[in-house]
Structure formats: structure tokens, C-alpha cells
Amino acid sequence: MHYIALATICLWASGVYAAPAEPKYLSTDDLPKCPIDADHAGECIKLIMNELIPRLRLGDPELGIEPYDPLVIDRLSFQYSSGAVNGKISVRNVKLYGFAEHKIKDVNVKVKGDKVKLRTVSEIPKMNILGDYKAELQVNSLQLKPKGTFNLTLSDVENRVIMDGEIYTKDGLRFLRLKDIEANPTVRDLTIKANGIFGDPELDELALSVANNYWRDIYGIILPETRQSWAPVMLRLINEALQHMPIDQFIQSPK
């Protein structure tokens, strides 16, 4: 759910910054320049993203750039309510592995005045997500307060993202700011591991067996239910990166 955000963060991370009094933005000397016509710029943008995503996998201490694989999320909470199950789930110390293999397959850009619509399709062969969780759930009349660790393995992740944004001017330069984002990741296979669900290892194994057999149903319910929690995080991360990326530095000069 953070795939496109990661790609944009990598673009931002490859820039070189000066002192605050003389701000500099993303250096693009070794990157291709995209066509002025947005309808023909998608392939160029795809090449740029695929060039920069793996470049700073390990970060750059001199520039204060943190490694992005794993991508670390300190905390995320969301309310869950579907059918007989409702409650609150919180995750902490989450690490997402696999972004170094992230590939952008398709990019489509539409511009109308200062409004921009961006569609991307990307894939990751394998992702591993692990961390700590805590929940307060009610399943029918049963009250549960599970707490423990979790480890998810996702195979063949494809993510289709639609982003709406606007172009604005700062320091005499044009930038893109996103206003809305819709991500729809699909997964070929998912394996769930966790402990502390019931406090009894045998019951935990039984619950995990059911979850792994019916993971598609669970995934299909949880994804839309939790979107209001993770979508704003994606939007914030991408916009923090985009403010360091003047649009015109990626565009060919008029002939």
C-alpha cells in the first residue's frame, strides 16, 4: 500500500540539498527529459522511476537519507467493523521488505490546466511485512484483546494507483501536489503468521490455519475497511517528496 509513495520518496532521496538559505531541488543531470506533451510522457516517467527506485536502497548517510528497504512504519492504527467483527487494531515497529525489486510497469498522465491525473501500475515479486500488533475486538458476543507479533509474506503484488493533483508555483518553479489517492493492490498469494491471538499456541495455530485458508476473503474485507487509515499516510509521504521535485526539471526544453 506504500509502493508508489516509496517510488516518489526514492526520487526525492536522489537529490542534493544545500543550506536552507540556498535551497536546491532534485538534480536530474543523469536522468532523461520527458516530452512536453503529457500524453507521451508516461514511458519516460516510468524509466526515471525504475532508474531511481533501486539507486538508494541502502540510503546515503552523508545526505541524511535513510535506507528504504526495509521501509519502517513506527505506528499505524485503524478501526475495523465488518459483520460480526468490530474493534481497533494498532501496529507498531512495522518493517516492509521487498521494495528494492519494485518495478513500474505503466504510467499514464493527463493534464488539464493546473489539474493532473496520474495512473500507475507497478509490481513487486515478493514482500515481507512484520511487526507488533495489539487489538481490541468484539466477535459477536466474544471480547478479544490479542497482542503479539505478525509476519506476512505476499507474492506477486500488483498495485494500480490513481492520483489526482494540482500544479502550483513556488520560488518561481512549478510543483505537483496530490489531493487524492486510490490504491488497489492485488496479491497472488498471502501467508499469515502471528502469535498472541488467544494466548494458547494450539488455538493460535487453529486460527492461523483458518486465516490462511480464507485469506482472500479476509484481504478483500480489510483492504477497503482500512483505506481511510493508510491512504492519508501515503498521500502525506508522496507530497513531502514532491515538494523537492520541480516539474520543469524533468521536461524537455521547447525547440
Domains and CATH numbers, the chain: 3-250 (3.15.10.30)
- All three cell numbers of 229: 487509515
3 state SS of 246: coil
| Cell digits of residue 46 | 516510468
Give every CB contact of residue 166 below 8 A, 6+ residues apart in sequence: 114, 115, 116, 176, 177, 179
Average pLDDT by consecutive 10-residue portion of the chain (255 residues)?
Answer: 37 35 59 82 88 75 67 83 79 90 91 92 94 88 88 94 94 91 91 90 90 87 76 79 80 69
Distance between CA 136 and CA 64 in Å, rounded?
38
Which of 233, 1, 7 lies closest to 101 in space, CA to CA?
Answer: 7
CA–CA separation, 133 and 121 (whole Å): 30
Q: What is the structure's pLDDT at 200?
A: 87
* Residue count (the chain): 255
Interaxial angle between packed helices 3-13 and 215-242, expressed in degrees from 0 to 180 and rounded to the nearest 10: 30
Contact predicate 224/182, CB 8 Å? no
Query: What's the pTM value of the predicted model, to 2 decimals?
Result: 0.75
**CA distance linking residue 167 with residue 73, whole number of Å:** 29
pLDDT value of position 169: 93
